[in-house]
Amino acid sequence: MVQVGDVSIGSGKPKICASITETDRKSIIAAADILLQKRVDIIEWRIDYYREAGHWDMVLETLQRLKMSLYGRPLLVTFRTKEEGGSQEIETAAYRELLDHIAQSGLVDMIDVEIFKDFTYEELAGDRTPEVQERFENLKQWIESLRQRVVVVGSYHNFDRTPEDAELKDRLQIIDESGVDIPKMAVMPANRLDVMRLMMFTLQMAEQMDKPLITMSMSPTGVISRICGQLVGSCVTFGTAGKASAPGQIPANLLSTFLKTLA
């Protein structure tokens, strides 16, 4: 279990997270006001949608306003890169510098880190070269520095397919090895079998891991995976109060009703 404010992630029903995807400060704050009226446990600011994301002073001012607006509701900040389904491209140095600034601001509870941003699956899953291992150790050290200030969600998103179970397991172990607090994997199903396969994989891994785990099968085909997290061991599910940040998300209030019904 990971405690974030009053929210216990990994205990009880899956926690509902809803994303703010607006592009300007005024709309971001307005979206936060709407989310506070919904049955949402965690609010995610998808900073890659923010058109001023490249200007730290603007990001800081928006963070300050956003934090005041949330009245203690846990805030997760995510810069989803274009490679993993986000709206902006960003160089690694700028990505890390931005997340460092955000963590050091004291205004954020959780930060999402893309574990495979600078690595291919083949580089990390097989026999690593000394150069690859050195880069991975650098990643681990950076994540540990973030963890001194915030909870770190280590993520992997695949908008094209659901990898085979062996690859899913390798990727999850790599995310775990990186030292994050909460591993997260979101994948795209080709069919219902892919959805059921991910759910069974999640059940098996959740029973073996000593960390909370987040998984989801995207698209309308995968909606069931967003609802049945308590059954299989996924501890957070993502809903909407406006524009969806990923395929297959459903309204947060409806998601809350489903979770209560299944509890």
Annotated catalytic residues are: 157, 184
Distances (CA, A) of 77 to 46, 201, 245: 6, 27, 13
Nearest to 263 by CA among 8, 13, 40, 17: 13
DSSP assignment of 90-158, as one string? --HHHHHHHHHHHHHTT--SEEEEETTTT--HHHHHS---HHHHHHHHHHHHHHHHHHTTSEEEEEEEE
What does DSSP assign to residue 87? S
Adjacent-strand bridge partners of 76:
44, 110
What are 216's strand-pairing partners?
Answer: 186
Residue 255: strand, helix, or coil: helix
Structure tokens at 187: 């994948």
- Cα dihedral 66, 68, 73, 74, rounded to 10, equals 60
Alpha helices in 184-228 (DSSP H): 192-208, 223-227
**In this structure, is the dihedral angle defined by the CA atoms of residues 98, 99, 100 and 106, taken in order, positive or negative?**
positive
- Residue 71 to residue 56: CA distance in whole angstroms: 23
